[in-house]
Chain A
């Protein structure tokens, strides 16, 4: 098993203007590349899943989580950041 640099970011909360802009600004500022975004709104509830590449990132995952947590509190969103392997391991053999 190789430990890659891809992370999964999830964002949950009530829909409002500027969620994607806010998250992607933090990622861009830290040189993290977005590989995939999937987003839906169901009855006003916003759900986004992002796959990002942190190979060239300026911050480590703990710092990134702190930055996103802070933004999440400001915008009343629940944001998680996890290494992709946890999802691969859980859902695929």
Chain B
């Protein structure tokens, strides 16, 4: 039998895994739980628990087996479920909280580290189930370790639900206060979206959308370290050529995701959903999107030129990745979280990166203001206003945007928060001290934008 791969190609792959942190960030199994409604909280919770355990019994083992056989690290095995608000409609808040506890129990039982879907889709308004879920988010995120929550409060087609924007400012603050002993860690498990996608494999914002099948396997890639090394090798090429180098490299990274997705899907007997082309950084040195921007020629990420560099990087990643996979979906873009990216942490600590610049950068990449710590005494309405700004960017530009913000209790600008592990650590950033309260308190909805007259 002929083996057509050259030695150089083999060694390139080995180097990507051994020294450039190439890994599969997550295999996320989406599970429909719409058929799990019981007469009350605990019977609903039990049905959900049983279904998750039945569907995902072999998820962790399969992931570990694939990791061993192919020699490619698969960092996380995770589960997303149908937004819980769709299943619990009509139950009281206390009963919804019981359902949340069962999600944690199921996550522990199958051995995964995060389970997403304690969520509500409220872009046009609230159902009673939505409100029940949203109101118990702080309690659930404080009393569980693995349950993640998300709320979609705007879309390009529906506009922005400003009532939800107002409410989420309060919910985020309350979540931070209930987890004050852990620097507000609960907020790291809560994402507020505009134009949320139904097949996102990444936490904390993953949920199994209502348009999805019974169950799917979605793959999230990592790989900033590999792109960084490719960019570093060509310090003098022009940007057209650099875009090509990034495309070629992304193609290779994405192929590993495609392979792992296909194998996992076959072994688990669950259809392959999508590969998410996102460049997801980790706090490990060299596994940083900010470092890539700096290797492209910026002295520090966050300086002038950062938005342009990120726009090119993001687009090249999509072009290379889209060729490599049969189904691309999820968020698909470069992530620029602060606490999870060593280069971003440095940029903030050195004063090169502000919330305002981050907001501008989210116009050209996935996904939004992510893992940003702000002072604990930031007013609710200011948190809401930050959410409104991000949602407006998503709504107008027909893209997903999100806010995952941590008003760190008792902390001031310049202090640090520590979450540990993949969530990392972050300096507390300055927020604009002028009030947006009167704007936010108007509530109502921001109407959907026109889809013509583009400028």
Contacts and interface: CB of A to CB of B under 8 A. Distances in A.
Contacts of B263: 1, 3
Interface string B299-314: 0000000000000000
Given A80-B17, A83-B70, 8 more contacts: A12-B14, A36-B3, A47-B11, A49-B7, A60-B68, A86-B70, A87-B5, A90-B252
Interface in B2-24: 3-5, 7, 9-11, 13-14, 17-18
A89 B258 contact: yes
Contacts of B10: 8, 10, 49, 87
B9 A87 contact: yes
Name B's interface SS.
helix
B4 A92 contact: yes
B1 interface: yes
Interface residues of B, number: 24
Contacts of A47: 7, 11
A88 interface: yes
Number of chain A interface residues as a range: 20 to 34
Interface string A45-87: 0010101000000001110010000000000001011111111
A82 B72 CA distance: 8
A43 interface: no
Contact of B13 (A60, A65, A78, A87): A87
Contacts of B17: 80
A83 B7 contact: no
Q: What 5 pairs across the A-B complex have the smallest Cβ distances?
A: A82-B71, A89-B259, A62-B68, A91-B9, A89-B255
Contacts of B72: 82, 86
B68 A65 contact: yes
Interface string B230-256: 000000000000000000000010011
